[in-house]
Structure formats: structure tokens, C-alpha cells
Chains A and B, each alone.
Chain A
Amino acid sequence: MIGVDSPTATRAESLRRSFDRSFAAAEQVETARLEDLLTIRVGDHPYAIRLVEIAGLFTARRITPLPSPVPELLGLAGFRGVAIPVYDLRALLGHGRDGAPRWLVLMAGETRLGLAFDRLDGHLRLPDQAIAKDDRANGGRDVAHRVAGTGDAARPILHLPSLLDAIRSLMLQVV
């Protein structure tokens, strides 16, 4: 039985108070521009994805393999009745392939495709000052244009439109 003074009870009480406070506090007007980021792991490499560039986050989706000359294409997955191609971020970023990725995000925009990765680290909301411009080529493909400062480590932010361009160029090479 958990005691009153146990750390778990203290943590639960803290969560409860924070949750209640969020509804009790007055609405704040945000003066600084904030960027919502999804922090992920591709292989062992940390990355971030802008939340505005995705249409949804999913886990443990069944991916049906599809014969394709493009090795980065994992297969097709169903999202709300629509079959959408899912690509492997590890292959796209040049980190190799080891097992089936558990997570995937659905890209926003007109072209719907899914990007699968290994692990979800969390959600970040950073001011613009915390995001630096980085033109460094990453994995041979120009997909990460910025580096997000996340405390003690800096992780590149994937630019999904560029990634989409890369996929398109791959398709064109095959064709």
C-alpha cells in the first residue's frame, strides 16, 4: 500500500495540481513565436519534426509490404480508409535498416505519405531563438535544415518537404 508521504503519492498529487491549474489559469497571450516539435529517434540518431508538417502520429500500424524498386518504401498502411505509402526514415536518412520501425507520422499537405521511425522521444515547444540555421548536409540528402537546441543536446529538424522532394527524385531515378 502506498503511503501518504511516498514519492509516488507526491508525484500524483503534483500531476493532479498541474492538471487542475491548467484549467484554472487565465488564457495567456503568447508574445514570442513558438515552434512545436516532435522529437524522434531514427536508429540511434536524434531528430525533430515540425508538428505543422505532419497530419498525425501513429503507432503499431500494420504495414503491408509492397514490391518496389525503391528500397526506402516499406509498404502501404491504411489511414481512415485510405492506403498511404510508408517510407523508412532510416533508409532515407542513410542510417541503415534494423527491424521494423514502430512509429510513423503522416505528412501534411496534398501528398500523403507516411514516414516510419524507431522511437518517439516526446514533444517540444521551442522559441525561434532556440532553433539555429544549419545547412550541413545530413546523410547525403538535404533534409535537415535547422538544429533545435534541446537542453544538453542539439538535434537536427527534418524538413519534410525536402524529404518529399528527395523521395520524388528517388522515384524519378527508378522510373
Chain B
Amino acid sequence: MWTFGRKIAAGFAMSFLLLLGIGVVAYRSTDALTKTSYLVAHTHLVMERVAGVLSQMKDAETGQRGFVITGDPTYLEPYLSAEGSVPALVRDLRELTADNPNQQKRLDEAEPLIAERLAVLKRIIDVRRSAGLDQAATTMQLGEGKRLMDGIRRVFDRMDNEERQLLKLRGDEVEAAASGARSTIVFGTLLCLLFVSVTGVLLTRSLTAQIAAAVRHVQSSSTELQSAANQQASGARESSTSMNEITTTISELLATSRQIAESAQRVATVAEATVGAARSGAGTVEKATDSIASIRKQVDLVVSHMLELGKKSQQIGAVLDIVSELAEQTNILAINATIEAAGAGDSGKRFAVVADEIRKLADRVAGSTTEIRGLIEDVRGAVNTTVMATETGSKTVDAGNRQFGEVATSFRQIADLVSTTTEAAREIELSTKQQTTAVEQVNLAIASTAQATKETEASSNQTLQTASQLATLSRDLLRLVQPQASA
């Protein structure tokens, strides 16, 4: 689709071409007319020169006659003037008709006649001076002068006739050129007017349609722009509110970052103290491990003693078994003695008493061995319990030793970890300080952004006003372009 400028340029170009054509035709017609006029003037000049030569020749003849008649030299003045000017006039004619071979031939024919005529006049004048009037009249009566003059007149009449024909021909040419120029100017102007009118109408219609469409587009765009400006203004207000909240949040974040930095510093300090405590704890644990090793040795010694005590108890038990066996045998013997004493009658009564006492003693011994056995069993149980407890204790000590080793390892790990924690806390402190600086910068940036948002809000309001004005202008423009459409 052609643009406005292109259409207008095309219209103006066509008009320019038409005007240029008309101008060229007019120029050429004028040039031809000028040339033709120049040629007409040239023809008139040639005719004037032809008439001038004849006139000078007549004046010379007149002066010669007056001198001949009067003998007064003053009458010779026309003759003398013609004698000087006629050759110059003939030269002018030769130059003026240089482009016309016919006229040159005629001049070639006329020039000896003119010279001979002037010679004849000079001879008669000389005769008059030398021989008097009669002789001069006689010479004149010879008629040579008349014959020459008639020849000159005939040649110059032909030249004048040709020039007159040329003048007529050039007059026709001038008329034709003027007519062509008039026609060209009239028809070209009419054509140009017609073209300009048609082009104007077409351009007006096209441009009106395009401008109307563009104006409607502008109107709709301005409406959209108005809506967008409204949204932008509300968005800018919301952004401004959000920026205020962000600024508040960032201020809190800044305070929190500072607190974190301080906390990280305290953590680093506490971690350093913890490293010292952990190393001290590791030393204490190593001492405790040594003590536990000593306790382990003591426990092993106790176990060996307890086992020895158990063996002794077993030996006591074996001895006690013998004692118990002896008591049982004694009891059997006493019972049998009692039986025998009973069978012995009265003599056996004293023996029965002894046997009874022996039996009682055996009973007591048996009771005592039972008690001792119980005690020994208690001792053995206690020994076993002690051994088991000691072994459990030994295992516990071993476990404790291992656990202390693990505790020492844990303390070392704690120290390492706390060292790592210290470094981490320092890094956190440094990072938090950097973060604080960054947050301050962000705060400044947010403040700038908030300012920019306020400016954006103002700009949005300005845009809204501009969009409203643009909508009004587009309506006005549409009313101007298409009144019926906007009505």
C-alpha cells in the first residue's frame, strides 16, 4: 500500500511532469518563435539593406545629375556618400545572406553591375569637370547608366522578392509555432488541471480513508493507552505500596542481618571456648582412660583373688564332705551302739548313754556341717556373684574404656567440628556483614526504585492525561476528516 508521502509525491511528480512537458513544449515553441522572429527580422534587415543599396545608388545618380546640371560640387555629396557606403552595404548583404546560395549568386551578379554603375557615374562627373556640361550630357545620353541601373534593380527586385517569400514563409512558421504553443499550453493546462483535479480527488479520498482509519486506530490505541495508563498508574501505586513494604522488610532484614552477625560473632567466641573445653575434656578423658586401665588391672587382680577364694571354698567343701561323712558314720556307729547297748541289757545302759551322746555330737556336727556347707555355698555364691559382678565390672570397665576412647574421639571430633563451626561462624559473620552491606545497597536501590515508582506513577498520570487528550484529539481529527462518521 502506498504511503501518504508516496501518493502525494506521485501526484506532484505527475503534475511536475505535465508542467515540465508543457514548459518544454512552450519553451520549444517560444524558441522556435524567437528564432522565426529573428529570421523575420533578419529578412527585414536584408530587405532594408537591399532597399538601402538601391536608395544609395539612386542618391549617387541624383547627386551626379545635380552636379552635371549645375556644376556645383556640393551636389556631389550624395554621390560621395553612396560611393563610400554602397560597398559596405553590399558586404553586409553578403554576410546576411551567407546561408542563402541564391542570394549570394544574385549578389555575385549585382556586385559588378554596381561597380560598373559607380564607375560610369564617376566618369560622367569627371567628364563634367573636365569637358563641361554638354560632353557630360552626351555621355549620359549614351544610356549606359540606365541599363546598368535597370540590371541592378532587376537583381535587387529578385532578391527582395525572395526575401519577401521567405518573410511570408517565416510568418507562417511563426503563426504555426505560436498556434502550437497556444494549443500546447491550453490543452496541457487543461490536461494538467484535469489530472490535478482527479489526483486531488483520488488523493483526498484515499488519504481521507487512510487518515480516518489511522485516526480510528489512533483513537482505539489512545483508548487502550488510556486503559493501559490507568493500569500502569494503579500498578505504579501498588508498586509504590509494595516498595514501601519492601523497604520496611529490608530494614527489618537489615536489623536481622546485624543481629545474625552479632550472634555469629558470639557463636564464634563460644565455639572457641568450646574448642578449649573439648581439648581439656579430651585430656581429662585420656587421664580417665589411664585410671580405667589401672582399675582394670585391679579388677583383674580381684577376679584372680576371687577365683582363688572359689577354689579354696571348693577345697573347704571337699573337707566338709569328709567331715559330713565322718559325722554320718559316727551317727551310724552311735545308733548301732545304741542298738547293741539295748541288746546288752542293764550292762549296756552306760554304754547307751555314751552312744547317745556320741550320736548327739554327730547330729550337731552334721548340723554344723550343714550350716558350714550353707555358709560355704553362700561364700561360693558370693564369690561367683562377685566374680560375675567383677567380670561384668571388667566388661563394663572395658566398655567404659572403649566408651572413653569413643568419648575422647568424640571430643577430638567435637574440637574439630567446633573448629569448623568457628570457621563457619566467622564465614557466616563475614557473609552476614557482606549481606548487610548488600542489603544496605539493596535498600538504597529500593529507595531509588521507590522514587522511580513514584515518578512512574506521576508519569503514568501524565500518560493518562496525554492519552485522554490524544483520544479527544483523535475524535476531533476524525470529526474533521469524516464529519458524517463522527456525527
Binding site for B on A (CB under 8 A): 7-8, 11-12, 14-15, 18-19, 22-23, 27, 36, 38, 51-52, 54-59, 120, 122-123, 125
Contact = CB atoms under 8 A, between A and B. Distances in A.
Contact of A123 (B335, B354, B365, B375): B335
B323 to A, nearest CB: 11
Which of B335, B368, B371: most chain A Cβ within 10 A? B335
B359 A123 contact: yes
Contacts of A52: 342
Contacts of B444: none
Given A56-B336, A58-B332, 6 more contacts: A18-B357, A18-B360, A51-B335, A51-B339, A59-B332, A123-B335
Contacts of A12: 368
12 contacts: A18-B361, A22-B353, A36-B342, A54-B339, A56-B339, A57-B335, A57-B336, A57-B339, A59-B328, A59-B332, A123-B363, A125-B356
Nearest to B365: A15
A72 B137 CA distance: 240
Contacts of B339: 51, 54-57
B424 interface: no
Contacts of A8: 368, 372, 375
Nearest to A38: B335
Contacts of B364: 11, 14-15, 18
Contacts of A23: 354, 357
B401 interface: no
B331 A11 contact: no
B372 A51 contact: no
Contacts of A38: 335
Nearest to B340: A56
B257 interface: no
A155 to B, nearest CB: 17
**Nearest 3 pairs of A and B residues by beta carbon:** A22-B357, A57-B335, A11-B368
A124 to B, nearest CB: 11
Contact of A19 (B336, B342, B357, B363): B357
Nearest to B364: A15
A36 B353 CA distance: 12
Nearest to B352: A36
A63 B338 CA distance: 25
Contact of B361 (A7, A19, A55, A120): A19
A20 B342 CA distance: 23
A153 to B, nearest CB: 18
A117 B357 CA distance: 25
Nearest to A122: B363
Contacts of A7: 371
Nearest to A19: B361
A20 B353 CA distance: 13
A38 B350 CA distance: 20
A51 B342 contact: yes
Interface string B310-340: 0000000000000000001001101110110
Contacts of B372: 8
A61 to B, nearest CB: 11
A54 B332 CA distance: 13
Contacts of B335: 38, 51, 57, 123
Nearest to A15: B364
B140 to A, nearest CB: 222
Contacts of B359: 123
A38 to B, nearest CB: 7
A125 B335 CA distance: 12
A3 to B, nearest CB: 14
B278 to A, nearest CB: 53
A56 B332 CA distance: 9
A59 B331 CA distance: 11
A46 B335 CA distance: 19
A56 B357 CA distance: 18
A118 to B, nearest CB: 14
A58 B335 CA distance: 10
A153 B334 CA distance: 25
Contacts of B360: 18, 22
Contacts of A120: 331
Contacts of A51: 335, 338-339, 342
Contacts of A22: 353-354, 357, 360
Interface in B44-65: none
A7 B359 CA distance: 22
Nearest to A28: B353
Nearest to A53: B339
Nearest to B359: A123
Contacts of A59: 328, 332
B336 A123 contact: no
Contacts of A11: 364, 368, 371
A57 B363 contact: no
